[in-house]
Structure 1
Amino acid sequence: MNETDIRKMAADVLAGIAPEADLSTVGDDEDLREALDLDSMDFLNFLIGISERSGRKIPEADAPRLQTMRGLIGYLQGANANA
C-alpha cells in the first residue's frame, strides 16, 4: 500500500464519519482529531474503518501513533513491510 492509497483510504473512511471534514486541509504532522474536530468516538471509528479497509488489526495501544497523517502512513507502510 503506497502513500497515495493510504491518503485516499483515510479520506474515504473519514467521509463516512465526518462528511464535513476535509482531510486535504490537514498538514502531515497535525493532530487529526484537533484539525478535523473529531471527538474520541469519531477517532475510534476512524481507526476501526482504517483497520477494516486495510485488513490490518490496529491495537488500541497503537492509536497515539496514528494521530497524524505521517504517523498513519508510516504505520500502515511499516505493517505492509512486515507482512
Structure 2
Amino acid sequence: MTQTKPLNNAEALSLVKDSVTQIVPDADFTLIRPDDRFRDVLELDSLDFLSLIELLSEQAGVRIDEEDYPNLTTLADTTRFLVERTRQGS
C-alpha cells in the first residue's frame, strides 16, 4: 500500500479514474455521471471489479473488505468511501 495521507475529493476521484483506466484502458468518463453504476456502464465483470478493488486499496493505502463493496458502485460513492477511509487511517 502506497498512499498514507488523507485524500480530498479531487484526489480520490482522480485515483478512481486512474485505477479504472488501468482495468479498462478505453474507459470514457464522459459517459459516466457521478451517480451511475460505473461497473454496469463499463461492463466490468467480477474479475475486473476485484482487480479494481485491489488497485484502489494499493493506491489509496487502505484496506477494502468485501463488506465495503456496496459502497463502491458509483464514482461519487467510491470517491466518498476513499476520502472517509483515508481520513480514518485504516
Global fold match (TM > 0.5): yes
Structure 2: gaps (5+ residues): 1-6
| Unaligned 5+ runs, structure 1 | none
1:55 maps to which residue?
A: 61
In the alignment, the residues of structure 2 paired with residue 71 and residue 59 of structure 1 have an alpha-carbon distance, to the nearest angstrom, of: 15
Q: Aligned equivalents of 2:38 and 2:64: distance in 1?
A: 17
Deviating 4+ runs (over 4 angstroms): none
SS at match of 1:29: coil
Count matched residues. Answer: 83
Q: Which amino acid aligns with 1:12?
A: D
Q: CA deviation at 1:13?
A: 1.1
Trace 1:2-81 onto structure 2 (pairs within 5 A).
2-81=8-87
Shift of 1:15: 1.6
Cα distance in 2, alignment partners of residues 23 and 6 from structure 1: 15
The answer as to whether partners of 1:23 and 1:36 remain within 8 angstroms in 2 is no
- Identity among equivalent pairs (%): 30
Q: Would you tell me which structure has more helix in proportion to its own residues? A: 1
| In structure 2, distance between residues paired with 1:9 and 1:80 | 12
Q: TM-score, normalised by structure 1?
A: 0.89
Residue 39 of structure 2 aligns with an amino acid whose one-letter code is R
| Counterpart code for 2:42 | L
Aligned mates of 1:24, 1:55 — CA distance in 2: 27
